[in-house]
Amino acid sequence: MERIYFDYAATSPVHPEVIEVVHDAMINHFGNASSIHHLGRDSRRMMDNAKKVFADSIGAKPNEIVLTSGGTESDNTAIIETAFAREKEGKHIVTTVIEHHAVLKPMDYLEKLGFEITYLSVDKYGMIDLEVLKEALREDTILVSIMYGNNEVGSLSAIKSIGEIIVESVSTAYFHTDAVQAYGLESIDVKKESIDLLSTSSHKISGPKGIGFLYINEAIHLPSFMLGGEQEMKRRAGTENIPAIVGFQKAVEIAQLTKESRRNEYDSFSHRLIQRLNDQKVDFEINGHPDSRLKHIINIWFKGVSSEKLLLLMDLSGLAISAGSACTAGNIDPSHVLIAMYGKESQRVKESVRISFGIDTTMKSIDYLVTELIKLTNKLKK
């Protein structure tokens, strides 16, 4: 049986060219980047080159890049360290109800410590109301954390407008955005979009797992989340993982070079999928914003079809897709994103699946996917 992967938003296979550079670095560049001898200097040079690539990819400077273990650590650092560093200026933070748990859980934590969190709701497209954001900003607002693109339904936030609203507001809030899903596919410019803090993760763009970066505007000083050595200009303690860093660099270089072609390709995958479902008169609707959305994610409500059952049958057909936001010990939790968009009583919450594309997706695999979707949704339909 053929096995085809359609869950790139969860994680992605490592690109063959990335594997090559990781392999080479593991053998030939094992020095500790803090060591003074030639092996240490070699690792530092490689790390500095990588940081230049990361910085250029978002319009930042290399000294504004802090290497982390990925999206979760970047989000946690941005949120918790901002709160601790600025609590004397204010204890109010603004975020949205559809953030990833790597943002929502730190918010819960801070709330228990006495911070006040305003959660902005979203409409049926997964978009916040910019007027409500304006009204939420106060003199004591120290941080706004709004994701660049949603990991479940793909809706893209109006990042530039949000940045402008924050700059023009009475607050001096830092603007953090979780760009874990958008990085590598969207054109991000932190200066033009007034972003102060931005989280990325390598494993979403066919780089190695356990590596990412947090962009921190050079005007901002945040203490290290990890306590220990003085790496990363005292902003992130711990010996740097050179093979993972250069692997991530390679993944970013490939993503930059192929961005436009992948965007067009993913668009044509979505169109084909939708067209064939329509041709076969499948009863479905797309969740999320129709235009302003990440190209690699498509979230579909198959009316009257349990997403859990569909996912299991698809798996038996060799197709890996996703339903709900998290899978804990085999249970699919109802998605907090779909609940926020449609209400917890909506059938969509139980009947939607996420399909996501990446480096190995082809039109042929899309055709197989749709054929199975048509067959299995017909079989499962109540």
Interface contacts to ligand PLP, rule CB under 6 A: 70-72, 75, 100, 102, 147, 151, 178, 180-181, 201, 203, 212
As measured in angstroms, the least distance from the Cβ of 195 to ligand PLP is 15
Of 10 and 274, nearer to ligand PLP (C-beta) is: 10
Rounded distance between C-alpha atoms, residue 163 and residue 130, angstroms:
11
Rounded distance between C-alpha atoms, residue 271 and residue 278, angstroms:
10
As measured in angstroms, the least distance from the Cβ of 203 to ligand PLP is 6
Looking up tokens 């996912």 gives 311
Of 178 and 193, nearer to ligand PLP (C-beta) is: 178
Out of 228, 327, 362, 367, the active site residue is 327
β-strands 331-332, 327-328 pairing: antiparallel
Of 66 and 277, nearer to ligand PLP (C-beta) is: 66
As measured in angstroms, the least distance from the Cβ of 27 to ligand PLP is 26
Give the amino acid at 141.
Answer: T
Of 92 and 203, nearer to ligand PLP (C-beta) is: 203
Q: Which residues pair with 111 in a beta bridge?
A: none
- The sign of the torsion formed by the CA atoms of 56, 57, 59, 63 equals negative
As measured in angstroms, the least distance from the Cβ of 101 to ligand PLP is 8
As measured in angstroms, the least distance from the Cβ of 217 to ligand PLP is 20
Rounded distance between C-alpha atoms, residue 303 and residue 292, angstroms:
23
Is 194 tagged catalytic?
A: no
As measured in angstroms, the least distance from the Cβ of 178 to ligand PLP is 5
Minimal CA–CA distance to 115: which of 133, 92, 95, 81?
Answer: 92
β-strands 92-96, 116-120 pairing: parallel
Residue nearest to ligand PLP (CB): 71
Rounded distance between C-alpha atoms, residue 283 and residue 128, angstroms:
28
Reported in sequence order, the residue ranges of 116-173 that DSSP labels E, i.e. its strands, are 116-120, 141-145
Of 102 and 222, nearer to ligand PLP (C-beta) is: 102
Of 163 and 212, nearer to ligand PLP (C-beta) is: 212
Of 29 and 100, nearer to ligand PLP (C-beta) is: 100
Of 151 and 307, nearer to ligand PLP (C-beta) is: 151
Give the amino acid at 279.
Answer: D
Reported in sequence order, the residue ranges of 84-146 that DSSP labels E, i.e. its strands, are 92-96, 116-120, 141-145
Reported in sequence order, the residue ranges of the chain that DSSP labels E, i.e. its strands, are 4-5, 65-68, 92-96, 116-120, 141-145, 174-178, 197-199, 212-216, 284-287, 297-302, 319-320, 327-328, 331-332, 352-356
Q: How far is CA 174 from CA 36, 90, 130, 322, in A?
A: 36, 12, 17, 33
As measured in angstroms, the least distance from the Cβ of 74 to ligand PLP is 8
As measured in angstroms, the least distance from the Cβ of 316 to ligand PLP is 25
Q: How far is CA 134 from CA 46, 98, 169, 178, in A?
A: 43, 18, 7, 20
10 Å CB burial of residue 88 (0-12, 13-18, 19+) is: exposed
Catalytically active residues are 327
